[in-house]
Chain A
Amino acid sequence: MSKGRILVIDDEDIVRLSCSRTLVPEGYELAMAKNGQEGLKILEEGSYDLVLTDLKMPNMDGIEVLAKIKERWPSTDVVIVTGYQTVETAVKAIKLGAFDYIEKPFTPDTLIATVSNVFRIRNK
């Protein structure tokens, strides 16, 4: 029985790999997508509790992915992962319904703490 289903959307292999190597041992069930379109397709095929999405991606950026998810699957939480944090994008992301954001480069502890925080609140 997994702690929860998480979808990671990031164009960088190393980031997806880091997430899976950190979160799978913690008991989460992970799916991976290389870009926004692929992520939305996966979401259509099965339900996920949390989406970790990169902010800056080719074709469809994290803000657009966030808006689409919140429109179609409002119960799914979204955490923005970014190496390019600015106050404006953070405010915009939170306004659009993002749960939180993580700054790259993150440590396994930071990632675990943020994710477990999401599920703690969801399970309340």
Chain B
Amino acid sequence: MRVRKSYTSLTGKLILTIGMLMIAGSMLFWLFLFKHQEKELIQSSVKYGYSFVDFVRNSTRYAMLTVHGTLIQQTVEAIGGAEGVMNVRIFNSTGKVVYSADKKHVGTILDKSSPLCLTCHTASGPVKDTPSWKIHKGEQNYRVLNIVQPIYNQPDCYTASCHAHPKEQRVLGLVEADLSLELLDYSIRQQGIAITAYVVAFSVVISGTLCIILWNLVSTPLTLLSQGMRKVASGDLDHKIEINRGDEIGELADAFNTMNSELKKAKNELMDWGNTLEKKVQEKTEAIQRAQQQLIHSEKLASLGRMAAGVAHEINSPLTGIITFGHLLLKKFPKGSEEYEDVEVVIDQANRCSNIIKGLLGFARATTADKAATNINDVLNSSLNIVRNKADFFNIKLDVNLDPALAKVKADAPQLQQVFLNMIVNAADACEGKGAITITTRNVTENGNDFAEVEFRDTGYGIKDEDLEKIFEPFFTTKPVGKGTGLGLAVTHGIIQEHGGKITIKTRVGEGTSFFIRLPALKETS
């Protein structure tokens, strides 16, 4: 797992912000604490300084009252030699150093503008005669506390035997002491180092802890999430993010996984749909092509039918003349004479023309069906009644097996009769006057659809392979000239197609042929 470590990452930004705030907060806190402590320390130093100066004054008091200059000088020197005491000076009221721990200073007169004088004296204002202190940088690395304490005129002073000072003089001089703050400075410096160390350590610990917490709580899961999203974006919909936590990030991961599986489901559905769509489109295209071919075929038949109707009307009248006058002529010749036979040929040929016209008219009728619920068995029986007594059928064995439970169909009964008669006559022709014709009806189911089927089986000469594909074409016939018009099967095919049915053939040359006519069964409505 690769986690982004730069400061632009969420964790980096959080750590940086919180760390800065922590450092700034601790610094401020420790700065205030430090300043407060320093102030306290300096105040106690000042207090000590005042006590020290008081001590100097009190130690020299007696010697002053008794005007023992040497004793005062000795005392000041002794005190000035103590540790931490840098200098002790006693000034008189004219600014002259009268006594000093450092003998070199004795007798020097301070200029009125010196910092020490300015502590009490200003250029114009009244004299400030209260004790004062200040801290200044010493010649060494540490600071120096400078304490100045006036020596006030007291009754002991102006009532003493020496009468050194008049009573009106308020301040007789002052004691000044320079005390080293080396220890204090050292202590403060040490404290500063410690505080800095604490702040740094504190910040490092807090930042480290934050780092670990944020890393585990935010950065790692977020990286897992973004990696997961990239994988999903690149098409891997099986990817699962393993963050098993009850918090918001856990919920986010769960939501992501749910979204992912939904996405996968939707994608699969879409793909399935796409695949089946292609198949469905293909099926529909084939169906449309089939329908188109049927339409073209039907249109061909219909235009042929219209032409046939026109031709029939035009030709039937002259045929009437030929037949009528043929018969009139026949009466004029004795039977058996050559002329009689010639006229008979004329009448026969006119009748043949008439039959061709009737065949053509079948087309006109095939395209306009008047359909109603029809029992195929009844139509077959009436068709059989027409042919049964014809001479052509005398030597043919007729087997009829009709299923009494045969489903009804929606059909034009006269057209169906035309079809069945045509099939029976064709079967008889194929048998050439001998053999057997078997007619069977039955219910069949194909691809979940119910059909009523009629089979016409003959023991005739069969159909050659090369003829099979042409037998439904108009004017195609294998019968001798004058026997068939080549329209019977074309009309049959047209009628059956118009009824939504189909004709199939099983044939074997020399053994016979079976024609199967299938029509959609009418759904029972009771």
Write the residues of chain A forming the contact surface with B, with a CB cutoff of 8 angstroms.
10, 12, 14-15, 17-18, 21-22, 56, 83-87, 104-109, 111
Contact between A105 and B319, CB atoms less than 8 A apart? yes
Contact between B324 and A12, CB atoms less than 8 A apart? no
CA distance A14 to B325 in the complex (A): 10
Query: From residue A21, how far is it (CB to closest CB) to chain B in Å?
Result: 6
| A83-B312, A105-B350, A107-B327 given; A18·B365 CB < 8 A | no
Number of B interface residues at 8 Å Cβ cutoff, please give it: 24
Contact between A83 and B327, CB atoms less than 8 A apart? no
Question: Which among A14, A21, A107, A109 is the interface contact of B317 at CB below 8 angstroms?
Answer: A14
Residues of B within 8 A of A84 (CB): 309, 312-313, 316, 361
Name which residue of chain B comes closest to A103, CB basis. B316
Contact between A106 and B320, CB atoms less than 8 A apart? yes
A-B contact pairs, 22 of them (CB 8 A): A10-B317, A12-B318, A14-B321, A15-B317, A18-B320, A18-B321, A22-B324, A22-B328, A83-B315, A84-B361, A85-B361, A86-B364, A87-B370, A104-B319, A105-B317, A105-B322, A105-B323, A106-B320, A107-B323, A107-B324, A108-B323, A111-B324
Residues of B within 8 A of A15 (CB): 317, 320-321
Contact between B320 and A14, CB atoms less than 8 A apart? yes
CA distance A56 to B324 in the complex (A): 20
Query: From residue B430, how far is it (CB to closest CB) to chain A in Å?
Result: 29
Interface residue B354 (Cβ < 8 Å from any Cβ of A): yes
B 313-354 contacts with A by CB, 8 A: 313, 315-325, 327-328, 350, 354
Write the residues of chain B forming the contact surface with A, with a CB cutoff of 8 angstroms.
309, 312-313, 315-325, 327-328, 350, 354, 357, 361, 364-365, 370, 414
CA distance A77 to B23 in the complex (A): 130
Residues of A within 8 A of B317 (CB): 10, 12, 14-15, 83, 104-105
Residues of A within 8 A of B364 (CB): 86
Query: From residue B246, how far is it (CB to closest CB) to chain A in Å?
Result: 85
Query: From residue B34, how far is it (CB to closest CB) to chain A in Å?
Result: 123
Residues of A within 8 A of B309 (CB): 84
| A14-B321, A105-B323, A105-B350 given; A21·B328 CB < 8 A | yes
Contact between B324 and A83, CB atoms less than 8 A apart? no
Query: From residue A20, how far is it (CB to closest CB) to chain B in Å?
Result: 10
Name which residue of chain A comes closest to B316, CB basis. A83
CA distance A87 to B414 in the complex (A): 9
Contact between A105 and B320, CB atoms less than 8 A apart? yes
Cβ-closest 5 pairs across A and B: A83-B316, A14-B321, A105-B319, A18-B324, A104-B316
CA distance A14 to B323 in the complex (A): 11
Query: From residue B492, how far is it (CB to closest CB) to chain A in Å?
Result: 18
